[in-house]
Every structure is written in C-alpha cells, then in structure tokens.
Structure 1
Amino acid sequence: MLQGAGIWVNRRLIQEAIYDRRLSDSGFRQQILYTVNQVENIYWAVVGAYEDLQSKEQALEQSTKVASDDRKQLEIGTMAPLDVVTADSAVATDKQALITAQSNLEYQQLILKQAIARNLNDPALTAAPIIPTDRVNLDPLPEENQSVDDLVQIAFKQRPELEQAVLSLKKDRISIRGARNGLLPIVDAYAFYGSSALGGAQSPSLLNFKTGQPATSGTYPTVTYGTTFQNLFNSSASDKGVGFNVTIPLGNRVAQSLQSRAQLEYRQAQMRLEQLYTQIRMQIVNQKYALVNDRAAVQAAEAAQVFNAQSLDAEQKKLKLGASTTALVLQQVRNLATAEDNLTDARVVYARDRAELFQLLATTMQHYGINMEDATTGTVNVEPVVPGLEQAKPSKEPDLPAPGMR
C-alpha cells in the first residue's frame, strides 16, 4: 500500500523505454546532421582544390607565354639572356605548383568518394573524376539577416543535444520518484474466506468419548452428498478474516544510496542542461560574427583579385611597349596567382562557416530538403534542394593524370 503503490510505479520502466526510444531517434538525427555537414565540408574542399587547379593552369599558361615571347625577342636580339632564364625558372615553378594542385585535387576527390561510396574497389569509380557543379555565392541567406536572439531560439527548438538533455532529465525524475518510493515501508493488506462441509454415514467404529464404548447407531444423523454440497455455500462452517503485513527495514541503506545517487544525477543533468543552453548561445553568436567576417574577407579578396588582374594586364602592355621588364610581369603573375588563391580560400571558409551555422541551428535537413524517413530507410524519394548556390561557370575540365601514371 505504500512501497510499489500506484500505476506509475509499475509503468515507470515502460515510460523510461519510451524516452530511450526518443533518445535513440534524436541521436540518429544528430548523426545525420553531423554527417551531412562533414560531407559538405569535404565538397567545398574539392571545390577549392578545383579552383586552385584552374588558377595554377592559368598561371602556367601566362608564364609559358612570357617565356615564349622572351625567347623570340632573344632571337632577334632585343632581350637579355638573363630574362629568358628568369622566365624559364618561373615556368618550372608553375609546373611544380600545378602538379601539387593536381595531387591535392585527386586526394580531395578520394576523400569525398570514401564519404559517399560504400565500396571503392570498383576501378571505374576510383578513376572517375568528381566535377563540382555548384559554386557558393554571396547572396545573403535568411539566417544571416536574422537577429542572434531569433537564431538562438531556433537552435533551442531544433538542437538534438538539447532534446536529449531534456529527455535525460525526465528519465532522472522518474528514477528519483522510483528511488523515493523504495524508501517507504512495505504494507500489504490481505483478506481470506473459506468454507467447508462434512457429510456421509456414521462409522461403525465410532466411539462415545464419554463412555469409551462404541457409539450407538443413529447417534449422528446421516448427511447426504447433496446436503454436504449445499453446506459449502450457505456459510454454515465458514472461515474468513482480514489482516495487514507491515515491513519496515531498519537502515535501508541500499534504497537510501539509490535515492541519493538518483538525486545527484538529476542535479548534474540540470547543470549540464544550463551549460548547454549557454554553450549554444555562444556558438550562435560566434558563428554569426564569423559569417560577417567571412563575407568581408571574400569581398576584399575579390577586389584584390580584380586589382591584380588589371595590374598584370597593364604590365604586359608596358612590356610590349618596352617600358617594363620580364621580372615585373612575372611578379604580377605571382601576385595574381596569390590573389586567386586567397579568394578561393576565403570562399571555402565562408561556405564551411555557413554550413556550420546550419548545423548549429540543426536546420540542415530542412535547409537541404532531407527527409528523415528517407534517411532512415536509405531510399531517396525527394531530391534534396541546395539553395544559396550558383551553377559553375563553363570552363575547361582540368586534365588529370590517371592514378599511378604520374
């Protein structure tokens, strides 16, 4: 009546199992968010390697053209041999940079294949190049224009870590109630009822207890079986009663330790939940600032790339007019290559930080149109949508050497 009384005591294990199922589903959703974010980061690494390779090809093409022009001028006597040597050295340096860029692209492609393919034993899959079809642009997404408080509220509703922390807290509450119930005395109430009947003829060997002689015939009347059966139900010889059993453990240290442990775990869960709220808020604030800085870095890198491209064009025109030198032209080629590398890196960082914001908000699946049921079954019924991207500009596909042929 005290310990173990109530429906909730017997149903608490069922409720804990329900919470465990929800925790498992939340953990699966968290793993999906992490996996999608990792694959997206790898994809942007491939995009960066691809653009870096294109930049290195352009630099090699420009330095090769300068070296060819210098060699022609050397033949007609209008160019010093040292300038030709300088141009040839620049060509060799650009070739080495191109080979390094090719190796990096192949490596990034292999990482992406490992992330999205189950088996890389197929030679066709191993040799197939990955051609990025999208580039990130700077069109602001709705999340970038929202206030920090709005983003924090979205994260509080969507983050699986918070959902898991709240569910764990509810489980701990059930454990505390169960542990407290275990401290109560055991009180059992019981009741019983019984009935009996005796029938049949008098035994010839029946003795008279007063005289010690055999009892005379007819001392006890004969009871038929029908009368005996009737006496079972008319309470003529019933046995009934009620009672209580009370068990009060002395000390009960096991139950006390379980209750203390459950209370401590509940307080620790409360503390972790508060820390998680604070951590998520700080993550959102930092990521918001990071996106602002990344956008500014991309814009600055774009301006530097345009400036260096114009400077190279002007220096090449001056060289044709005899007002510049090969060294100055090659220096502008290096400056343009560096500016393009910086622009590529800035774009990749911006794309990764934007993907990180979606993961922090736990809106990656909604943003990309990923269905939870499709992720569970492994069958894609609705094609994901990736907003905020622009189609890659048509360009010549870089020539990649076959694996093992370099």
Structure 2
Amino acid sequence: MTSPSPADEALLETVQRQTFRYFWEFGHPVSGLARDRHDPHDARGDDVCTIGGTGFAVMAIIVAAERGWITRAEALARLRTIAGFLAAADHYHGIFPHFMHGGTGRTIRFSRKDDGADIVETSLLIAGLLCARHYFDGDSAGERALRGIIQQLWLEAEWNWHTRGGRELLYWHWSPNHGWAMGHEIRGWNECLITYLLAAASPTFPVDPEVYHRGWANGREFVNGREFFGTRLPLGPDLGGPLFFAHYSFMGLDPRGLRDRYADYWEQNVRHTRINHDYCVANPRGFAGYGPDCWGLTASDDHAGYVAHAPNEDTGVISPTAAISSLPYLPEEAMRAMRHFHGPLGERIWRDYGFTDGFSVGHDWYARTHLAIDQGPIVVMIENFRSGLMWRLFMQAPEIHEGLRRLGFQSPHLVA
C-alpha cells in the first residue's frame, strides 16, 4: 500500500485516539489496570481487571505519549501507578493471574480451578512492560523508578516453574489450591509464541530451548502447508484460526524478517490474514454483511456469548479488531474495512471508546461492549503500521535478542 491519503491518515488518528480512551479514561481508578470489559448497562464487573489487557494498556499509553494525546509526564505517572500496584499484588512464583481485582490486587478466579498463575496473560503483560522500560529511558528519578519496578517484575517471573519440574513443555496454569490440575499444555500454533520467547529470554528463570522445539513446535496444529482459497498456510489449524494469533504475540515482537527453522513469521501472518479475508469475501455460509469491506473473524463477544470466531467457527459475527489490527499485513483491505466500520456502520458500532466488540448484520445484533484484549491491538497495531514504534521498542531489549538466538531465530534486529 502506498502512503495513506490525508483522509485515511485522519481516520487512523481518530480510531487510534478514541480507542485509547478505553485504557486512559476507563482504566481502574485505584490501580490503573485495564478493566476486562466495558458494558454501559452493567457496571458490576468494573473491578475485574485483565493482566494481558493491562500489557496492551501499557503499550497504548506509550503510543498516546508519542502521539501527544497525553504528556510524557502523565504517561509516566499512570505507568508508575500500574507497575507499583502489580509489585504488591497477588502473584505465584512471579506469574500473575488472568483476572485481578483492580482495587485490592487480589486474584479473581477465571474458572473453578483457574485461580492462580496464568503464564500467557503474564507474557502479554511483560511484553508491554519491557516496551515501557525502553521508552522511558531518561535520567529523571521517576523514569529510573519505573524501570526499576519493571525490572523487578521481569526478573521475578519464574518461567521455568511452568515446565512442571523440567518437562519439555510449558503449562498454561498453576494454582496454589489445585496445582497443575488444569493440565493445559501450550503447544503451537496459536497466540503463545511470545510466551515461549520470554521464557527462553529470562535472565533469571529461563527454559531450555528444547522446551520450545519439543513442546511448542510439536503441536498437532503447528505445521500446516495446505492451501486455502489459493493461499498456502505455513503454520496453524486449517483456515488459520482466529486472527488474534497474528496480533497478540506480534504487538511487540517484530515479524518483519523474523524466521526460524519452522517459518517466516511475516509470511505466516500475511497468509493467515489473507485466508481470513478471502474466506469472508467468499462467504460460504451466506451470512449477511460479509464482503470486501466487511471482514475479520477473531475472538469477541457474540450474540450467543463469547466465541473465538474463525473460518471453522463462524457464527456470522464480524469483530472490528480483527481487520483493523491486521493493518500491517493487509493494509488496503484493512483500510477498506475501517472506512466501512466508521462510515456506514458507525451509527451502530462507533462509541466513546472506539468500535464496539462485534456485530452481526444477519442477526441484527450489535455489541454494546468493549473488551481490553480487543481494543489494545487496534491502538498498537495501527501504530506499528504507521511508525513501527512498539516493534522498535520491544526489539531493543538485549534479553529478547538473547532469547531469539537461543531458539534459533533470525531477525534484522539481531546484530552480529
């Protein structure tokens, strides 16, 4: 795609800035953590904060400071509040829970046995904090203090604890009450590449590279190689799965030129996105509204609940975050969708915190909710398209360089 037109550039700015308000204005008033969801008709869950979504909030706040929507001092103050709160909050071998009470720092269980450590949510948090460590690189006492707290959180995270005593695999959950009872193995391909990278990069509690090669890369749906709608998919389930696979790990990790023995990860993400787009255009199930200007399947709220929408799990619901957060991969197609969402559909889905979480033209259903894990990628991936800011920050970390080398990756960011 050539440089965006002035009208498209203005739209990018509008969407980013309004979506950022979710994290700034709706951040928890005590801790600054990202609340899990906003529902204008139900405030009962306003103390439920998401650890992964808070990692996205950290990145969004950096974008806002860089763009001048808030001052650097305001961003620093909010991030010191967040980091300081986390340093005193519940954690388990340095790993945080999925949900946390934004006023007390106590764990809110995600399910009956999921009441402890969530290593994937923690990896999304740490990725954001490492970006902040490199953005706030000044000599002031405030910036030094922020870096110090972030370093403490990073060094205290016991990634190798989640190998269950040295197995060649990471496990998603550990509970102080139920131990490893959930038994959720983290195997690829999905959104968890960032988890394995940080686990390998840890200066204090690293995992052996074989955990990556024998665990992550040994999943049943890791290598694919088949064609869908004329596009060969290197990795992942048939038809690619939900688009957050191409977003969550790559909000900081730069996929451009990133490769290992298994794949070229820019190619992987572009092809996954292309298949998702082409599926929606072909619309084999005949859902109303689908087409070149209305596409994108990923996890979001749904007329029947919450669903990880994908071509093989299609309920007729389009999630605006799916196409918009894919802007680096398919810029022309993503811009076309964004114009449609903001223009013809804007009256139904454009609100104070940006686009609502999903909609279905066929079911005449339009979400009233916003979710942190869907709003965050919109702000960050638009910025990566516009300037590459978060990719530059995350890839500055020397520990990330070491982790990539340990796992056998190549990247233009790795210098000899």
Q: TM-score, normalised by structure 2?
A: 0.21
Q: TM-score, normalised by structure 1?
A: 0.22
